[in-house]
Amino acid sequence: MLSRNELKYIQSLCQKKQREAERLFLAEGVKLVEELLHSEFSVRHIYALDSWQEQQSTVPVTRITEAELQKISNLQTPNQVLAIVAQPDPGPLPALEGQLSLVLDGIQDPGNLGTIIRIADWFGITQIIASTDTVEWFNPKVVQATMGSIIRVKSWYLDLPDFLQQVSVPVWGALLAGENVYTTAPISEGLLVIGNESKGIRAPILPLIQHPVTIPRKGQAESLNAGVATGILLSHLAR
């Protein structure tokens, strides 16, 4: 049974301000919650239907009705279980040498960010550096769109021009005018900058791009979705 205070508290975690103050986030669905329970993330509390099979007894579980789950869920079709999870501290930025990392400049759509995190995980990229105005990492829509990849990919929100001026690894950037990605040699070390969905990479960062790369356009579409573009670029650069 869900108390009124619990209901209000869970609903408050749908707001960025409250998530940041509490250092918590919400995760929903059988697959995602089970992955979190088997990860290093700290699951604080679980709210679940009777149909959900409890995975471990160390996490408090409150059994609720479908109507109650509907009230606390961010999904159009709630899926059995919702968890309150502690936001991990990513710690200091680790070494950038010897691996490919993503840099996101002003990504605003939660679905795009979630997709990019999932794509990064697919290609074995574990580090994403984002501008301070990129959508919040633990936004419920971002968390759900990652399909569990948020467990394996870490994030750091930094002032990008300052950060890029200090790095010693090569900096690649997705631009309309650049080297054809289809003929670009694979890269094993460096940063790949992905720009805002509508504005692309912003002016202060452009001089810091050492290797512009582009996806050749054959049709008349004005642009590509940021997540789609990231997938295409990594399929060639990280192959």
How much is the pLDDT for 221? 85
**Statement: residue 224 has pLDDT above 90:** no
Q: Are both 139 and 224 inside the same structural domain?
A: yes
Q: Are both 117 and 226 inside the same structural domain?
A: yes
| Of 178, 119, 177, residue with least CA distance to 147 | 119
Question: Which among 86, 112, 142 is the end of a domain?
Answer: 86
Range of the domain at 30: 4-86
Please state the domain count of the chain.
2
- pLDDT, tens digit (0-9, with 9 covering 90-100), for 4-26: 899 999 999 999 999 999 999 99
pLDDT mean over 134-159: 97
Q: Are both 71 and 117 inside the same structural domain?
A: no
Q: Are both 116 and 176 inside the same structural domain?
A: yes
How much is the pLDDT for 44? 96
Do the domain assignments include residue 113?
yes
Q: Are both 167 and 104 inside the same structural domain?
A: yes
The band of 239, judged by pLDDT with boundaries at 50, 70 and 90, is confident
How much is the pLDDT for 57? 65
**Statement: residue 238 has pLDDT above 70:** yes
25: Cβ–Cβ under 8 A, 6 or more apart, which residues?
13, 19, 84, 85, 87, 138, 140, 143
Distance of CA 227 to the CA centre of its chain: 11
How much is the pLDDT for 56? 66
Q: Are both 71 and 123 inside the same structural domain?
A: no
How much is the pLDDT for 1? 81
Do the domain assignments include residue 139?
yes
Q: Are both 66 and 133 inside the same structural domain?
A: no
> Taking the model in full, what pTM does it have?
0.94
Average pLDDT, the chain: 94
| Of 175, 178, 172, residue with least CA distance to 237 | 172
- pLDDT, tens digit (0-9, with 9 covering 90-100), for 59-115: 999 999 999 999 999 898 889 999 999 999 989 988 999 999 999 999 999 999 999
- pLDDT, tens digit (0-9, with 9 covering 90-100), for 180-192: 999 999 999 999 9
- pLDDT, tens digit (0-9, with 9 covering 90-100), for 20-50: 999 999 999 999 999 999 999 999 999 999 9
CA Rg, the chain, in Å?
A: 20
Q: Are both 214 and 177 inside the same structural domain?
A: yes
Do the domain assignments include residue 95?
no
CA distance 191 to 209: 10
Do the domain assignments include residue 24?
yes
Q: DSSP characters for 48-59?
A: E-TTSPP--TTS
Question: Which among 34, 63, 86 is the end of a domain?
Answer: 86
Q: Are both 225 and 159 inside the same structural domain?
A: yes
Distance of CA 202 to the CA centre of its chain: 21
CB 210 within 8 A of CB 167: no
CB 236 within 8 A of CB 201: no
Share of the chain above pLDDT 70, in %: 99
Q: Are both 142 and 72 inside the same structural domain?
A: no
Q: Are both 120 and 215 inside the same structural domain?
A: yes
Do the domain assignments include residue 91?
no
Q: Are both 57 and 109 inside the same structural domain?
A: no
Do the domain assignments include residue 50?
yes
Question: Which among 86, 119, 134 is the end of a domain?
Answer: 86
How much is the pLDDT for 94? 83
| Of 61, 82, 60, 62, residue with least CA distance to 71 | 82
Do the domain assignments include residue 48?
yes
- pLDDT, tens digit (0-9, with 9 covering 90-100), for 161-210: 999 999 999 999 999 889 999 999 999 999 999 999 888 999 999 999 99
